[in-house]
Structures are given as structure tokens and as C-alpha cells.
Amino acid sequence: MTQIRQKEQDVEDERKETSKNKENITPRSRLRAAGTATIHITSTHYWIVCILIGAIALACNLYQLGEQSLWFDEILSVERARQSLPVLLQIIFATQPNMALYYIFLHFWLSVTALPGLNPTEFVVRFPSAVFAALSSIVIFLLGRRFLGFIAGVVAAGLYMLNNLQLIYAQETRSYALQLFLICIAWYALFAALTVSSHRKRWWLCYGLVTVLAIYSQLFSSLILAAQIAAYVALIFLPGEWRINARHQLRAFIAVLAGVFVLILPLLYASRHGGKTGWLPIPHPIDIYRLFLTISSNSKIYLFLLLSFCLLGLFVVIISYQLWGKRLLTKVALIDTVDDNRLSRFQQLLPVGIALLCWIVIPLVLSYIISQGPTRLFSSRYLVTIVPAFMLLVGLGLVVIRWRVLQVVLAIGLLLFTVHYIPINYESPQEEDWNTATFWLEHHYQANDGLVCYDNNNGCQVSIEYYLTTYPSAAHFTADSPGSFPWVNYDLTNHLGNAEAAVDPNALSSFAAKHPHIFFIVGRLPSDLSVARAQHAQNWLDTHYHLLAKIVTPTVTVRLYATG
């Protein structure tokens, strides 16, 4: 009864305040009201916007999708997904727990595309990532629209879909696009569970399941989970309705976390030996700046603009609870009086802003600290997961600006400024070029020719074989090829083959005696010692056999010798 009376009193106070405001309307206040008028959009319009965002994002992701060569990491994704399901599961729990969900998904995707006879070409294997990235853009719009405002959702989704770093991983046969899609859903479900008045159990269930899937798609998602825990703790202490809901839902949140922990135990056990990221450098403070510069298309001006909107939004919502802050907001005309409804709106945005800040800061700080040890996680490939939050905070900065016309002008300006940097991604050189050299090899191959690859421990043979099987010809590696070994053996045992046999003159001599021609292929070399060994083998071949032709690319060198 007390709550009912309180609500009735609040309604009466609001009615009186509204009546008072109407009496004090001036031409200036009418102009301001016109500038901040709410745009009435139906649910049908929202779905149309979702479709448009998804279509534009997908078009950006599909543009030139199959033109660049797969690089080594992508080829490994395909190689693992091509295995039978029992073998793939053995690989996952033996040596490759990271990206487990993605490998399984890609396995079934390749099985489906093989039914109509499609080979796993660059376009085919990258297509799911393009779709997942487009879906992420839609979820970001929905998240921004529901918890920040319509214009914030549109701007955040637009900046995200056009972001250079995001576009890179939207066009790779890796798990990052799937991971981004899942963690965006997880954040949406978490916010929904804390704000809806009904179906909370469904949202908690959705949050828990999607979080588990996100961690199975990429172990780095566990740092996103840490960010969500930090955000929840912050919500418990922040003023406002979110605090009440967070405290009431604390048991449900803890129960969901317990369920998530139980479900990811198999993955944690498989990951007990640590990650294989020691090749990444130990980060330094300057690398934090470089990360945000990378996110901003390596443009200092663009980074300054994005950070300015983020800081503006956070500053306004944080000071909205302080008396001096209310006076400051009045002076700069963001509100009329301390009783302005816009002030209440700013206060409602504070929990969302703090949660988005946790989404950025916690993974950033944790990955930086962890990377001081043997496990290295501070990399743009992993921290692309903070890009959605970064763009949503930019949207928050637009929302706190009072005048709708100014909001729209700034939003359009930001999006146009972002479009300016899109060609950077499409014009950037490809990571590795395996297809050019392989096509040249297939063109020059004759029956019974031999193929030798170095360094197979760094993916030379498996990369060449991907193109030999995807674009079939007679060319193939024979069982007696020096240094040859199936990559699946490494995935199952964590033991590499004897790659050095490929640069052993005795092994090369025996191999050449069985083939009229041999192709000596040199790919990724990990050290100066490997470079010296490859050069020594090449000199030996030049001395003992006749060089017929060669091709040199930034990634691969192929030399064709006649052995007769």
C-alpha cells in the first residue's frame, strides 16, 4: 500500500510540475523543445533500420572477400575443420581448445557447402565471419537504441560496421567475428535481465548460455566475463533504479555465473597447459595508445574525435548526480533547470555508461597484466572485443547533446569521417600470399615431379596443400618428400615433424633421384638460422641441378629444378 501511495504522490507531483512548466513556456523554451523533440518510430521502423544496418554491414564485409589469399592461421582453421568430427574433438581437447566452437561450426559449414559441390575457397570459408560481423552490427544497434537512445544505436552500429579493425576480422576464417556477435548478445541479455519487469529468467538463461558459447568460441571472452562481473558490482553501488534491480537480482547473477563456470570446466581443463601466444611481445604503456590508434584507423584526428565524444558522455552522466554538476549543465544549456527531465535521463544513462567503460577497461587492463608473463593476450586481434563498447560510448556522447539537429549533424559528420578511412582496409596488403605461388606451381607441374617445402613447422606444406586441394590439379606432395608431415599429427600430439630434412643435401639428393623435376618451396621462416639453412640448400640445388624457372612473392619463393 505504501508503494502505491508513493506512486500516486509521484504522479501528482509530476502533474503539478508539468502544469507549472506549461505556464512558464517562452518562445526560447519552445525553440529548445523543438530541437530536442522525440522522434516517434514504430517497431516496424526499427526492424527496417535493423535490416538496413545488416545489409550495409554485410555488403562491406563481402566486398573483395575472396580476393586475398588465406594466411597461415586461416588455413589452420580450415585444416582442422576438414577433419572428421571425432578427430576434430580429439584435436580440440588435446592441443587446440581455443576457438573450439568455431572449429566445430566451420566443420559443419564445410560439410553443408560440400553437398552442392562447393570447394572450400577463400570466399566460402570466410563467408560465415562476414555474416556474424553483420549480425553484430544489428545487435549493437539494438543495444544502443534500447539503453542509450535511437541515434546512439544508429551511430554506434555505423561506426562499428565501418571500423577498420572490425572489418579485418569480419573477413577472416577465424573466430573473432563469431565471438563479437556472442559477447554483444551477452551484454544485451545482461542489461535486459536487469531492466525488464517480466521474463527475467529467460534473459538470465540467454545470458548464461551465450556467455558459455562466447568462451568456447574464444577463451579471451573470459576477460569479457570479468568485465561484466565488474560492471555488475559497480551497478550495486551506483545510485538509481539499476542499483535496486542489481541488488534484487544478485542471487540470479551468481547462479548464472556458477552455471557458466561448470559448463566451461572441460574447456578450462583442456587449456591447463597454457596458451600458445608466447610469440606476442610483452606490452608497454605506449602499446595502449597504439591499440586505440589502430582502432581509429591510425588517424590521430579520428581518435581524438572518438575519445572526445566518449569523455563528454561519461562526464555529463557522472556529474548529473552532483549539485555543482547540475549547475554546470544548466550554465552550458544542456538542461534548463535542476528539475529538468533531461537531468533524470542523464542519471538513468550513468549505469550504462559505467558498464560500457568496464567493457573497455577490464579486458584492457587484465590482458596487459597477464601479458607481462608467458601468456600474451595484449593484441588487437583479441582486444577487437572492446570496439563495440568504444563505439557505444561515442553514441552516449551524442545523446547528451541537447539539440536534435546538432546531434544529427554530428552523427552524419562522424559517419562520413569514418567512411573516409574504409579504403585503408581494402587497399592494405594481404597478410600472406600463398595462392599466387601455388597457382604458378600447378601451371608448371608435370607428372612425377616432386615437391619440397621449408619450413613445414611454420606451415609451408599445409598452406600449399590447402590450395592444391581447393583448386585441384595433379600437383601433390609425395610421401617421400623431405621434411613432409601431416599437420594433423601435430594437432593431436603437439609434436612437430622433422622439417630440417627439407634443407638437408643428402635428403634432397635422394629425393631428386626419384623425380625428373623438383619444386623447392620456401615459405615462412621464423629465424635468421632458418633463413641461412634455406639459402644453403638453395645454393646446393643451384650447384647440382638446372634451374628452369622461379617465382618470388613476399611470402613464398618457388624454384623449379630439372634433376636429369
12 belongs to a structural domain:
no
pLDDT number for residue 513: 94
Asked which of 403, 427, 451 is the last residue of a domain, the reply is 427
258 plus 142 within the same structural domain: yes
Determine, yes or no, domain membership for 30. no
Render 415-480 in DSSP notation, one character per residue: HHHHHTTHHHHHHSPPS---HHHHHHHHHH--TT-EEEEETGGGTHHHHHHHHHHHTT-S----TT
Closest CA to 433 of 79, 63, 60, 74: 74
Same-domain pairing of 206 and 69:
yes
Residue 22 covered by a domain? no
CATH code, domain with 528: 3.40.50
Q: Decide if 201 is inside a domain.
A: yes
236 and 304 inside one domain: yes
Beta bridge partners of 559: 520, 550
**pLDDT on residue 483:** 94
455 preceded by a cis bond (ω within 30 of 0): yes
Burial of 358 (0-12, 13-18, 19+ CB in 10 A): buried
> What is the b/e burial string over 396-416, where b = at least 16 CB atoms within 10 angstroms of the residue's CB?
bbbbbbbbeeebeebbeebee
Could you tell me whether strands 517-522 and 557-562 are parallel, antiparallel, or unpaired per DSSP bridges?
Answer: antiparallel
> What is the DSSP track for 188-256?
HHHHHHHH-SS-HHHHHHHHHHHHHHHHHH-TTHHHHHHHHHHHHHHHHHSSSHHHHHHHHTHHHHHHH
Percent of the chain with pLDDT over 70: 92
In a domain, 37, yes or no: no
Report if residue 138 sits inside a domain.
yes
CB 250 within 8 A of CB 237: no
- Tell me: do 363 and 479 sit in the same domain: no
pLDDT at residue 276 in the model: 73
Do residues 82 and 101 lie in contact, with contact meaning Cβ atoms separated by under 8 Å? no
Question: Of 499, 500, 507, nearest to 450 (Cα)?
Answer: 507
Place of cell 557447402: 113
Report if residue 2 sits inside a domain.
Answer: no
How far is residue 61's CA from residue 335's CA, in Å, rounded to a whole number?
A: 41
Number of folded domains in the chain? 2
Task: Mark the ranges of the chain whose per-residue pLDDT is less than 50.
Answer: 1-5, 7-8, 10-11, 14-38
Residue 175 lies in a domain: yes
**Vertex 452 angle, CA 477 and 476, to 5°:** 20
| Of the residues 404, 427, 450, the one at which a domain ends | 427
The pLDDT of residue 351 is 96
pLDDT for res 444: 96
The last residue of a domain, from among 394, 427, 460? 427
My answer on whether 180 and 51 are in the same domain is: yes
Q: Which domain holds residue 365?
A: 43-427
Q: How far is residue 426 CA from its own chain's centroid? A: 17
Question: Distances in Å between the alpha carbon of 437 and those of 264, 432, 443, 527, 554?
Answer: 42, 11, 10, 22, 10
